[in-house]
């Protein structure tokens, strides 16, 4: 049962609170306050952890700067996440999106001193390697993409000009892979110094002001077209020759087969007719013999009958019978001769028919040979026409080839002129720079003579060294002097040579002093001072 305290007239609020607390029998309020505060702190810590834990997307780099590991200005993460401590750390992101930079490079000097235009597009991005990310965090953090592209553009321009200056135009134009490899190998370490990597290089076009590359392209195209036309002409020639040969072989084989067939047919018909004539001849002879035998048998029967009749009539009629027998014999001989004549006439007629047929067959064979000769002449005419057409086509091809050669020669002449003009420009630039340098030397020395003296003294060691090398390898075993005796003035040839050599020294010393301003040592000789010319004296006036 709760205790009840009397309520005074004027009570203290704190005292009443303590009294009410003392009178409360439930959970302790202080404990509740502590629990609520702990829960609030834990909730705030969770909220803080949730808000300060940063996750890094795949297309960005998380850069944590501030109080990081010792010896590092920032900590870079690509992927994953990290806790960013409040107050002592902060964070930022670097984008990994590729950046395309257009480089309109114009007038870059090649190794041949020819200006080349190489417009190109470079694709760069921030690298994901640890060292490259650390460099990008130092160099590029806080910059917008345009500022990053400006820095990369300056680096690319310088390195691209350097690569072009180390290569000739032919290497740049023909060996694109080597050119791109040189650009990448030269550009990659320079871009990594600011945290970028090279993704792609796209060379748009390569041109030059003198037209050298265009001339090379025209030359290559002309050579390719000429080679292709030559190949086509050769293939057409081979095809025409093959078709003509195949057609000729076909016609020859067909004509030979037809000739063989016709000859065989004619021979078979001739043999058939000869055999039929022989058979007909044998048949006629057999019939004639049969008729003759039949007639002979009939006649024999009649003769026997008459003989028997005559014998039967009487022997008195023997003379008549004998006469009749002679008549019968004569008639029989006549019939026999008639039969033989008929046989001979029929045989000759059949032989004549056979000869006529043989002559017909020979005429037909000659006609077939004439037809074959005509066909062969027609084929020869066709081959001659094909040969003439091929000759005309060869002439046209030769004229086209000559035109191609002329075009190629003109293209080569234009290329040679452009190359020599570019070389002359380069030599002119070199001579102009050399003349400008000499002019500066003359102005710096205070005059042409002083500049000449300076250059002469500069090259004097090289001249002495060259002169020494010229006689260094000459070996003198001995020196023999042939003296021809005293001359007109009483001196020998050797003395005269030495006197002449000594006499040539003063003019040489004078020339060295006047031109080069070089004073030679005194022991080589001293120039004699020239005496002044005597004054002309006027003759005294003549006495009047």
What is the tens place of the pLDDT at every residue in 89-109?
Answer: 888 888 889 999 998 888 888
Token reading at 251: 């016609």
Give the range of the structural domain holding residue 144, as residue numbers without chain letter.
Answer: 93-209
* pLDDT of the residue at 121: 92
Check whether residue 252 and residue 371 sit in a common domain. Answer: yes
Cα Rg of the chain, angstroms: 68
User: Binning pLDDT at 50, 70 and 90, where does residue 1 land?
Assistant: very low
* pLDDT of the residue at 530: 46
Q: 140: Cβ–Cβ under 8 A, 6 or more apart, which residues?
A: 94, 126, 148, 194, 195, 196
Lowest mean pLDDT among 51-55, 207-211, 533-537: 533-537
In this structure, is residue 229 part of a structural domain? yes
pLDDT in tens, 246-300: 888 888 888 888 888 888 888 888 888 888 888 887 887 877 777 777 777 777 7
Check whether residue 301 and residue 318 sit in a common domain. Answer: yes
Phi first, then psi: give them for residue 486, nearest 5 degrees: -75, 145
Check whether residue 228 and residue 377 sit in a common domain. Answer: yes
- Is the Cα torsion angle 374, 377, 379, 381 positive or negative in sign? negative
Residue 230 has pLDDT above 70, yes or no: yes
User: Binning pLDDT at 50, 70 and 90, where does residue 190 land?
Assistant: very high
Check whether residue 130 and residue 227 sit in a common domain. Answer: no
Higher confidence at residue 140 or residue 532? 140
Closest CA to 520 of 506, 534, 530: 506
Check whether residue 270 and residue 295 sit in a common domain. Answer: yes
Token reading at 299: 């006649």
Distance from C-alpha of 515 to C-alpha of 507, rounded to nearest angstrom? 12
Distance from C-alpha of 473 to C-alpha of 480, rounded to nearest angstrom? 20
In this structure, is residue 536 part of a structural domain? no
Check whether residue 110 and residue 179 sit in a common domain. Answer: yes
- What is the three-class DSSP state of 528? coil
In this structure, is residue 438 part of a structural domain? no
User: Binning pLDDT at 50, 70 and 90, where does residue 350 land?
Assistant: confident
- What is the three-class DSSP state of 226? helix
Distance from C-alpha of 543 to C-alpha of 295, rounded to nearest angstrom? 197
Check whether residue 221 and residue 194 sit in a common domain. Answer: no
Q: What is each CA distance from 72 to 63, 473, 536, in whole angstroms?
A: 12, 68, 101
pLDDT in tens, 301-326: 777 777 676 666 666 666 665 777 67
- What is the three-class DSSP state of 19? helix
Closest CA to 56 of 94, 98, 88, 86: 94
Residue 138 has pLDDT above 60, yes or no: yes
Residue 2 has pLDDT above 50, yes or no: no
Check whether residue 249 and residue 383 sit in a common domain. Answer: yes
* pLDDT of the residue at 206: 83
Higher confidence at residue 217 or residue 139? 139
In this structure, is residue 374 part of a structural domain? yes
Residue 149 has pLDDT above 50, yes or no: yes
Q: Which of the 8 DSSP states describes residue 532?
A: P
* pLDDT of the residue at 99: 92
Check whether residue 137 and residue 258 sit in a common domain. Answer: no
In this structure, is residue 118 part of a structural domain? yes
Check whether residue 360 and residue 376 sit in a common domain. Answer: yes
Q: What is each CA distance from 117 to 106, 163, 181, 230, 472, in whole angstroms?
A: 4, 13, 19, 36, 53
Give mean pLDDT, residues 386-392: 79
**Exposed e or buried b for every residue in 427-456, given b needs 16+ CB within 10 A?**
eeeeeeeeeeeeeeebeeeeeeeebbbeee
Torsion of CA 57, 60, 66, 70, to 10 degrees: 90
Q: Which of the 8 DSSP states describes residue 513?
A: I
In this structure, is residue 130 part of a structural domain? yes
In this structure, is residue 244 part of a structural domain? yes
Check whether residue 222 and residue 326 sit in a common domain. Answer: yes
Contact 288, 343 (CB under 8 A): yes
Number of domains present in the structure of the chain: 2
* pLDDT of the residue at 122: 93
Check whether residue 124 and residue 228 sit in a common domain. Answer: no
Distance from C-alpha of 532 to C-alpha of 530, rounded to nearest angstrom? 6
* pLDDT of the residue at 531: 44
- Is the Cα torsion angle 455, 461, 466, 468 positive or negative in sign? positive
Q: Which of 25-39, 254-268, 434-448, 495-509 has the highest mean pLDDT?
A: 254-268
In this structure, is residue 488 part of a structural domain? no
* CATH number of the domain where residue 166 is located: 3.30.479.30
User: What angle (nearest 5°) sits at the alpha carbon of residue 115, between those of residues 111 and 120?
Assistant: 100
Q: Share the mean pLDDT of the chain.
A: 76
Token reading at 61: 């780099």
Give mean pLDDT, residues 169-178: 81
Task: Tell me which of 176, 209, 242 is where a domain ends.
Answer: 209
Distance from C-alpha of 108 to C-alpha of 160, rounded to nearest angstrom? 9
Task: Tell me which of 431, 458, 491 is where a domain ends.
Answer: 431
Residue 501 has pLDDT above 60, yes or no: no
Residue 123 has pLDDT above 90, yes or no: yes
Give mean pLDDT, residues 42-66: 81
Contact 373, 242 (CB under 8 A): no
pLDDT in tens, 428-479: 888 888 788 878 887 777 777 777 777 777 777 777 777 777 667 666 555 5
Task: Tell me which of 431, 454, 484 is where a domain ends.
Answer: 431
Give mean pLDDT, residues 167-179: 82
User: Binning pLDDT at 50, 70 and 90, where does residue 541 land?
Assistant: very low
């Amino acid at each position: 049962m709760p205790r009840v305290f009397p309520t005074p007239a004027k009570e203290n609020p704190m005292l009443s609170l303590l009294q009410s607390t003392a009178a409360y029998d439930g959970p302790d309020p202080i404990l509740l306050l502590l629990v609520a505060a702990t829960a609030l702190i834990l909730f705030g810590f969770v909220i803080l952890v949730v808000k300060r834990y940063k996750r890094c997307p795949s297309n960005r780099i998380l850069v944590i700067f501030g109080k990081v590991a010792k010896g590092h200005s920032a900590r870079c993460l690509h992927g994953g996440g990290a806790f960013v401590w409040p107050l002592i750390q902060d964070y930022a992101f670097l984008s990994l999106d590729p950046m395309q930079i257009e480089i309109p490079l114009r007038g870059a000097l090649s190794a041949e001193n020819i200006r080349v235009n190489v417009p190109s597009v470079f694709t760069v991005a921030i690298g994901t390697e640890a060292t490259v990310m650390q460099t990008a965090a130092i160099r590029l953090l806080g910059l917008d993409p345009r500022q990053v592209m400006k820095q990369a553009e300056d680096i690319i321009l310088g390195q691209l000009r350097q690569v072009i200056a180390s290569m000739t135009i032919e290497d740049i134009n023909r060996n694109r892979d080597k050119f791109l490899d040189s650009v990448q190998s030269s550009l990659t370490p320079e871009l990594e110094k600011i945290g970028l990597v090279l993704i792609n290089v796209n060379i748009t076009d390569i041109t030059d002001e003198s037209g050298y590359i265009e001339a090379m392209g025209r030359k290559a195209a002309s050579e390719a077209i000429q080679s292709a036309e030559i190949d086509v002409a050769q293939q057409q020639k081979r095809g025409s020759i093959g078709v003509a040969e195949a057609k000729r072989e076909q016609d020859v084989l067909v004509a030979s087969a037809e000739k063989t067939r016709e000859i065989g047919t004619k021979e078979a018909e001739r043999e058939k007719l000869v055999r039929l004539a022989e058979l007909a001849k044998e048949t006629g002879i057999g019939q004639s013999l049969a008729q003759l035998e039949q007639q002979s048998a009939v006649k024999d029967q009649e003769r026997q009958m008459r003989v028997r009749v005559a014998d039967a009539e009487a022997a008195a009629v023997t003379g008549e019978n004998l006469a009749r027998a002679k008549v019968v014999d004569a008639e029989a001989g006549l019939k026999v001769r008639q039969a033989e004549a008929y046989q001979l006439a029929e045989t000759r007629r059949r032989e004549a028919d056979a000869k006529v047929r043989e002559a017909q067959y020979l005429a037909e064979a000659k006609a077939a040979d004439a037809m074959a000769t005509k066909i062969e002449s027609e084929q020869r005419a066709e081959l001659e026409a094909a040969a003439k057409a091929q000759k005309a086509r060869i002439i046209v091809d030769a004229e086209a080839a000559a035109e191609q050669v002329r075009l190629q020669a003109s293209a080569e002449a234009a290329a040679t002129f452009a190359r020599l003009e570019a070389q002359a420009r380069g030599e002119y630039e070199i001579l102009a720079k050399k003349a400008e340098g000499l002019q500066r030397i003359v102005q710096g020395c205070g005059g042409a003579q002083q500049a000449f003296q300076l250059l002469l003294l500069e090259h004097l060691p090289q001249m002495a060294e060259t002169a020494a090398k010229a006689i260094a390898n000459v070996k003198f075993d001995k020196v023999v002097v042939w003296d021809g005796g005293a001359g007109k003035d009483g001196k020998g040839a050797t003395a005269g040579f030495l006197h002449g050599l000594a006499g040539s020294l003063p003019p040489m010393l004078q020339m060295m002093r006047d031109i080069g301003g070089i004073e030679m040592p005194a022991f080589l000789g001293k120039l004699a001072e020239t005496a002044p010319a005597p004054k002309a004296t006027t003759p005294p006036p003549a006495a009047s």
